[in-house]
Amino acid sequence: MVSNSTKFLLLAMVAVTLFSCKKKTDASSATGWNYNDPKMGGFEVAKNKEQKNAPGLKLVPGGTFVMGNVEEDVTYEYDNIPKKVTVSSFYMDETEVSNVHYREYIHWMERTFGETYPQLVRKSLPDTLVWYEELGYNEPFVKYYYRHPAYNDYPAVGVTWEQANEYCKWRSDRVNENELIKEGIVEYDPNQYGAENFNTEAYLLGQYEGIEKKGLPNLDPNGEPTRRVRFDDGILLPDYRLPTEAEWEYAALAVISAPDEERYDNRKSMPWEGSSVRYAKHDKWQGDMLANFKRGNGDYAGIAGNLNDKAEITAPVKTYLPNDFGLYNMAGNVSEWCLDVYRPMTSMDSEDFNPFRGNEFKTQARDEEGNIAPKDSLGRIQYRALQEDEIGQRTNIRKANAINYRDGDEESESVYDSDKTTLISDKSRVVKGGSWRDPAYYLSPGVRRFMDQDKAANWVGFRCAMIRVGSPDGQEMKAPKSKSPKRPWQ
């Protein structure tokens, strides 16, 4: 046990260290009490307010754009009627998730759950049989595409929407665990098995006990000398996830206004200027293909000696020029999973701020005493759907499962779940962008397609996204100083 005198001495040392270079402005403008001061209660406020950059991500500054088709609707789907919307700032993977990225995930799964839940590892593996064709010879891709190092930097395919979501969860925890390691909070622990693996939420709720290295100074005068990291310390990052359809389309178009000029001159039909699929500027890239796609029937790569896009199937994830947000292959190479449930009339139904269909509102499960329920067998905090009485008289939401909201609800279930009437169901997820086996029409970011969340294909991959918290572009917003003369009472 630490004596009171020793505890007071430690707190005093912490206070001296924190306040030796502090300004008087580190105080509450509401009460005048100092922040981060044990003598004034120890209320802590993080010094660094801005979000850190996470591995692999590029900032996509939010803004307004016209979502929907800009090309002739050759399939007559009428499922992407143009609509002006605003998307919040977020981060997007610079590239599609590659084979080596996905094999790193499977390696961790095998090491962590291989003995206790081998079926979970098998469930995570990509389906390499997506390369089979009944009247085509693709057996070499079945055998080598995922495993051979020559394909390390090629996009992972054969991954379902469900598997992609699990990858995002895994990546969130591995990145946050590494943040704690870099801060000297926990030690490297390669021997995490079963439910005892690091999970961000379990750590924050005190349900993960790793190899502690040191804690943060605890400025609470009535507490222990050190404490665990909290989310409001700014050390841990938000979750990786799949991008929404609106985010994906906005990021692909990369519409950027001229400096000091809020103007939207025209609607782009491609992730680059113009509608040509070849680079037109006068430099070493002139005439090169801007994307990996199928130029015509049977033409996947061009003629030997002058290959057009230099890719018979997929290409490495950093091939071709990035768009103005610095994102590679937002047209061609592989189509990509989005978070949304597919509906033809999403543009008519959805909000005009961060539009999305697919919400299932949940809350943390609790025991009979009201405490957070113990984590599950995978080491994750358990959740359950919100009940009607918990929603109450809210005006912002009226039901926990909003997938069919404004969509016929009970009537729609019989329609969308019937094989006799449509292929669309609550398991249908949006797929965006063209692929190596698509004609140029599908390169336009506004084109919409869908596939069941438990299906996979050799032309569909994915990339991750993350919300941008705080200021939209990392720049602190300040009100302009008044130029009016000072009043006598000021």
* Within a domain: 99: yes
Degrees, nearest 5: CA angle 269-271-277: 75
Strands (E), 362-417: 362-364, 383-385
In DSSP notation, 470-490 reads: SSSSSPPP-PPPP-SPPPTT-
pLDDT score of 170: 98
Q: Would you place residue 472 in the very low, low, confident or very high pLDDT band (cuts 50, 70, 90)?
A: confident
Q: Given this model, what pLDDT does residue 262 score?
A: 66
Sign of CA dihedral 277, 282, 284, 287: positive
In a domain? residue 141: yes
User: Do residues 305 and 333 share a domain?
Assistant: yes
For the cut 70, the answer to whether the pLDDT of residue 222 exceeds it is yes
Distance separating alpha carbons of residues 61 and 54, to the nearest angstrom = 15
pLDDT over 70 (residue 16) = no
CATH code (residue 178): 3.90.1580.10
Residues 21 and 78 in one domain: no
Q: What is the pLDDT of residue 411?
A: 46
What is the average pLDDT across 144-151? 98
Predicted confidence (pLDDT) at residue 263 exceeds the cutoff of 90: no
pLDDT at 159 (0 to 100): 98
Mean pLDDT value of segment 247-252: 97
Indicate whether 20 belongs to any domain: yes
Residues 35 and 64 in one domain: no
**In terms of domains, do 173 and 87 share one?**
yes
Specify the length of the chain in residues. Answer: 490
What is the C-alpha separation between 308 and 119, in angstroms, rounded? Answer: 43
What's the rounded Cα separation, in Å, for the pair 213 and 266?
Answer: 56
pLDDT band at 24 (very low <50, low <70, confident <90, very high): very low
Asked whether residue 73 is assigned to any structural domain, the reply reads yes
**Stretch 411-436: mean pLDDT:** 75
Reported as a single tens digit per residue, the pLDDT across 369-421 is 999 999 999 999 999 999 988 888 888 998 899 998 887 555 444 444 555 56
pLDDT at 482: 66
Q: Tell me 196's DSSP state.
A: G
With 0-12 / 13-18 / 19 or more C-beta atoms within 10 angstroms meaning exposed / middle / buried, residue 414 is: exposed
- Rounded Cα distance between 80 and 78, Å, is 6
Residues 13, 105 share a domain: no
Instruction: Assess whether 24 and 173 both reside in one domain.
Output: no
pLDDT at 279: 79
- Asked if residue 114 and residue 33 are part of one domain, the reply reads no
Taking the C-alpha atoms of residue 426 and residue 463, their distance in angstroms, rounded to an integer, is 22
**Residue range 223-241: average pLDDT?**
94
The rounded distance, in Å, linking the Cα atoms of 150 and 158 is 18
**Alpha helices, DSSP H only, in 221-366?**
245-253, 346-349
Q: How far apart (Å, rounded) are the C-alpha atoms in residues 488 and 490?
A: 6
- Domain range enclosing 459: 57-183+229-360+429-467
Q: Is residue 243 part of a domain?
A: yes
Q: How confident is the model at residue 6 (pLDDT cuts 50, 70, 90)?
A: low
Examine residue 480 and state whether it is found in any structural domain, yes or no: no
Q: How far apart are CA 45 and CA 47, in angstroms?
A: 6
Do 233 and 268 reside in the same domain of the chain? yes
Evaluate whether residue 193 is within a structural domain: no
- Domain count of the chain? 2
Residues 15 and 61 in one domain: no
Strands, DSSP E only, in 386-434?
A: 428-432
pLDDT tens digit sequence for 81-105 = 899 999 999 999 999 999 999 999 9
Lowest mean pLDDT among 55-64, 178-187, 305-314, 415-424: 415-424
Range with lowest mean pLDDT among 15-29, 213-227, 358-372? 15-29
Over 90: is that where the pLDDT of 429 sits?
A: yes
CA distance 433 to 292: 11
pLDDT for the residue 13: 54
Give a yes or no: residue 323 inside a domain.
yes
Q: Is 243 in the same domain as 337? A: yes
Q: Which of 13-17, 126-130, 473-477, 485-489 has the lowest mean pLDDT?
A: 13-17
Average pLDDT of the residues in 441-464: 96
Whether residue 165 has pLDDT greater than 90: yes
Residue carrying the six token digits 């919100």: 386
Quick one: pLDDT at residue 187? 93
Three-state DSSP at 65 gives: strand
- Quote the mean pLDDT of the chain: 88
Nearest alpha carbon to residue 46 among 254, 209, 219, 163: 219
The two beta strands, 362-364 and 383-385, are antiparallel
pLDDT computed for residue 162 by the predictor: 98
Judgement on whether residues 263 and 313 belong to the same structural domain of the protein: yes
Indicate if the pLDDT at residue 19 is higher than 70. no
Q: Which of 426, 445, 273 is nearest to 357 (CA)?
A: 426
- The H or E element containing residue 124 is helix 118-124
pLDDT, residue 1, reads 46
Q: Which residues of 98-136 are buried (b: 16+ CB within 10 A; e: fewer)?
A: bbebbeebbebbbebbeeebeebbeebebbbebbeeeee
Identify whether residues 252 and 331 lie together within a single domain: yes
pLDDT at 489: 67
Q: Place 179 in a pLDDT band, splitting at 50, 70 and 90.
A: very high
Distance CA 39, CA 222 (A): 11
SS3 state of residue 337: strand
Q: How confident is the model at residue 18 (pLDDT cuts 50, 70, 90)?
A: very low
182: confidence class by pLDDT, cuts 50, 70, 90: very high
